[in-house]
Every structure is written in structure tokens, then in C-alpha cells.
Amino acid sequence: MERKKVTISDFMKKKEKGEKISMMTAYDYPTASLVDQAGIDAILVGDSLAMVVLGYDGTVPVTMDEMLHHSKAVVRGAAHSFVIGDMPFMSYQVSPENAVANAGRFIKEAGCAAVKLEGGTEMAPVVRAIVTAGIPVCAHIGLTPQTATKLSGFKVQGKDAEGARELVESARELEKAGAFMIVLECIPDVVSARITEALNIPTIGIGAGKYCDGQVLVYHDLVGLFERFTPKMVKQYVNLAPMVREALIQYRKEVEEGVFPGPEHSFSMKAEEADKM
Ligand code: KIV
């Protein structure tokens, strides 16, 4: 069957039918192509780019220009998956006007289908402004890494009744503001179940248990290419780093020993031409 480009109405239909939505991060063309070929519904060009690709300690330093540069490559590789560009820290907090202008760059310059931004009820006016400009917004609540310092670190959120109530309230406000989807990061599964039930829009979990409408993971965690640490919520499906390291060591040795390139990787010239040369 011919695969069509995934749309927002496909996400809504999946939620209605109880079918799970798959989302994966990607930051470049080859990864986006593989994610797309795997039939994954949505690709998030996450600001986790800052850590897993650019080598920063956190997500705060990544810039609009860096996010756009990587989003463009992802869009070129995603023939079918729905691509969401993650708005970096301070690209949407200054004012709703500034947020709309930056969100517009993800759509016009990078070719993303939607943007994502972090924050609860306080971000509802920003979500409303971007949606009013015609740009779909995916919200993100719970552990919001851009403001982890304010949350006193990378901690599970909504662990007491009051915190959980605030998360449900935030999710409702963000849906009312026009968000088409919401990421729930690091919250107890009973709380994400409550949010998922309360909303008409799909919830996408990361460290938020199985009751969400879909799941997202960071690509480098899933394939074992980020070795600094592995959070509890990550399932590593393959451990590529040792394999890649071994291949690189073998290459270095073969170069040093003159084994590579062999005749099968070299180009020849007719003997008479070589003689003339
Ligand atoms: O930046 C990112 O990769 C994210 C996901 C973890 C949801 O925001």
C-alpha cells in the first residue's frame, strides 16, 4: 500500500481508535531517512541536539540557527513522517510576537510541519498566538529540560497530588490554547493516564508510562550512540557505540599497516598509459 505523508488528522484518528503513535528524534538526513523508512509517525528535531550531537551539557545553549540547520536536513530525509521542530530556549519566552516569528522560521525556512515548545499554563498565550498564525504547536509539560534549574534538577514531576493536579490543569489549558499534541516527560504513569483521558489531543510520553497515546525517545539513546549517561526511561535497542569504535580502530590499524586500501578499493590505469606517464 502506498504510504502517505502523516497529518495531524492521522494522530487524532489514532487517538480515537486507541492506536499508539510513534515518535523519534532525528537531527540529520541519514537518521531521518531511517526513521521514516521504519514507518515512525513523527520525527522531533529535539533541542536534545545540543547534548547528543553538539556536545553541550544541557539543552539551553542551542540556537535558532543551529535548530534550523538540522531541521532542514531532517525534512529532506522525512518523506512520510510528520516533522516537528523544537523551539530552543529563549526563542519563545520573550514575547508572543517574537515566538510567532521564530515558529514561522521552522515552517518557512526549514519546512517543518509543526513546532514544539516547553511549559505549562503560563505558555498558553504563546501557544495561542502561534496557532492563530496558522502554525501547529505540540506542547511539552512535566520535566522541561530548558528550565530544569527552576525545577531543581532533572526530576520526576507531578509526584504529589498538588503537582499532579497542576499538570492536568496545564494540559487542559494548552489544549484549549490550540495545541494539537502534548509531550509528557518524566511523570508518574497514573498522572499521564489521567491527562490522556482528560484530553482530546494525543499525549506522547517519555518516561511517562504506557497509558500515553504515543511514545518518543531520543535516537542516540535508543541506538547506544550517547555514552555520557542513560536515563532510566530509555530502552536501548542496540548498542552501536562499541561497534562503531571497533570499526574505527580496525580502519586506523589497516591504514597504519598499509592493508587499506586494497586493490578492490583502488583504480587502475592501462599499462601503456602508465608507461607514457
Ligand atoms: O529535545 C528532545 O529531544 C525532547 C524530547 C525528549 C521530547 O524534547
Residue range 152-167: mean pLDDT, rounded = 93
Global pTM? 0.96
Q: Which residues are catalytic?
A: 185
Q: Whose CA is nearest to atom 3 of ligand 1?
A: 46
Whether residue 219 contacts residue 25, with contact meaning beta carbons closer than 8 Å, is answered with: yes
Check whether 137 has a pLDDT greater than 80: yes
Whats the size of the chain, residue-wise?
277
| Measured distance CA(92)–CA(117) in Å, rounded | 8
Q: Where are the beta strands (DSSP E) in 2-143?
A: 21-25, 42-45, 82-86, 114-118, 137-142
Residues with CB under 6 A from ligand 1: 25, 44, 46-48, 86, 183, 185, 206, 216, 218
Q: At what angle do helices 64-77 and 96-108 cross, to 10 degrees?
A: 30
Over residues 2-7, the mean pLDDT reads 93
pLDDT, tens digit, for every residue of 81-132? 999 999 999 999 999 999 999 999 999 999 999 999 999 999 999 999 999 9
The Å distance, Cα 129 to ligand 1 centre, comes to 22
Q: Please check whether residue 84 is in contact with residue 138, taking contact to mean a CB–CB distance below 8 angstroms.
A: yes
Give pLDDT tens digits for 44-58: 999 999 999 999 999
